[in-house]
Amino acid sequence: MRIFLAFLFLNVTLFGFSQESVSSDLAFSEEAKSATEFFRPLKVKSEKESTFKPGEWLKFRLHYGALNASYATLHVKSDSIKGEPVYHVVGKGKTTGWASLFFKVDDTYESYFSKKDGKPYKFVRKIDEGGYKKDLEIDFDHKESKAILNDKKNKKKTSFDLQDSIQDLISAFYFLRNNYDADSLKVGKSIKMRMLYDDDGIFNFKLKYLGKEVLKTKYGKVECHKFRPLVQSGRVFKEKESLSLWVSTDKNRIPIRISAKLAVGAIKADLEAYNGLKYQFKIIRD
């Protein structure tokens, strides 16, 4: 296994909740902060061993009840920053149809991260969610152990001291896909990492492993690893374990489904389309 931004990107962004309303619900309890049993990366894979490649494209369709609410895409490209070969991933999300009449979302996320070790170099976040807008850019300077967040909308810059294994919203997904061994996963144990993608600062992210499960999809049956991100109940999420994520157990390790029980109703995102996978997508044949 590895993972995963689809949870973060789809939930924080495309589920139609602004960062302002979600931030408190994503804050972790003291139990999460003090937990000591976490998975650690076994090694950082090289570009050759990576679970993904430039050209990979994933599309997710979001449902709110019977309503087809929005779509999200993730596209991996190749680029360079200051002579360093990097992956450039662009994530886009937009409400469609009837959903756009009630709550319009038009978001773009971009991340530039090293092909060698997965460290982020640049992160871009441009969102428009029902009139709530942000235009942020973060530059990561690993030599100086600093990150500079440029809030273009409010014309404000903020400096953060970097910590070990820091990731942004997008790079975290691809870093985890590459650097956690499926064989080391144990039911009830968790993955933890540090993230920076907003002016709220660096926070800890925790993901509990729940075991394997076979899902019925539009492509057929797919064996998945199931995870549960820990959040706090509040205005958005019904309970602190309201979210579930399913990731394919094949070599691609792509998100297949995400579901959430909300304070009002429930929401689900499914893999709708894909292209450019590095490995064959494994379907269980009856």
DSSP the chain: ----SHHHIIIIIITS--HHHHHHHHSPPHHHHH---EE--S-PPPTTT-S--TT-EEEEEEEETTEEEEEEEEEEEEEEETTEEEEEEEEEEEE-HHHHHHS-BEEEEEEEEETTT--EEEEEEEEEETTEEEEEEEEEETTTTEEEEEETTTTEEEEEE--TTEE-TTHHHHHHHHH--GGG--TT-EEEEEE--STT--EEEEEEEEEEEEEEETTEEEEEEEEEE----SSSBSSTT-EEEEEESSTT--EEEEEEEBSSSEEEEEEEEEE--SSPPP-B--
Q: Which two tokens stand for residue 227?
A: 């995870």
Q: Are 200 and 138 in contact (CB under 8 A)?
A: no
Does the pTM of the predicted model rise above 0.85? no
- 144: Cβ–Cβ under 8 A, 6 or more apart, which residues? none
The per-residue pLDDT for 217 is 96
Task: Let me know the angle formed at the C-alpha of 12 by 196 and 199, rounded to the nearest 5 degrees.
Answer: 35
Q: How many CB atoms lie under 10 A from the CB of residue 158?
A: 13
Q: Which two tokens stand for residue 106?
A: 């038009």
The per-residue pLDDT for 225 is 94
Domains in the chain: boundaries:
6-275
Q: Are 147 and 196 in contact (CB under 8 A)?
A: yes
The Cα 134–Cα 142 span in angstroms is: 25
Q: Are 2 and 207 in contact (CB under 8 A)?
A: no
Task: Fill in the amino acid letter for 271.
Answer: L
pLDDT along the chain (286 residues), means of 10: 35 35 37 37 62 96 74 95 94 79 83 95 91 92 95 96 87 88 87 86 84 96 89 42 85 91 76 96 89
The per-residue pLDDT for 155 is 95
Nearest alpha-carbon partner for 141 in 90, 81, 76: 81
The per-residue pLDDT for 190 is 86
Phi, psi for residue 280 in degrees, rounded to 5? -65, 135
The Cα 38–Cα 236 span in angstroms is: 27
The per-residue pLDDT for 150 is 97
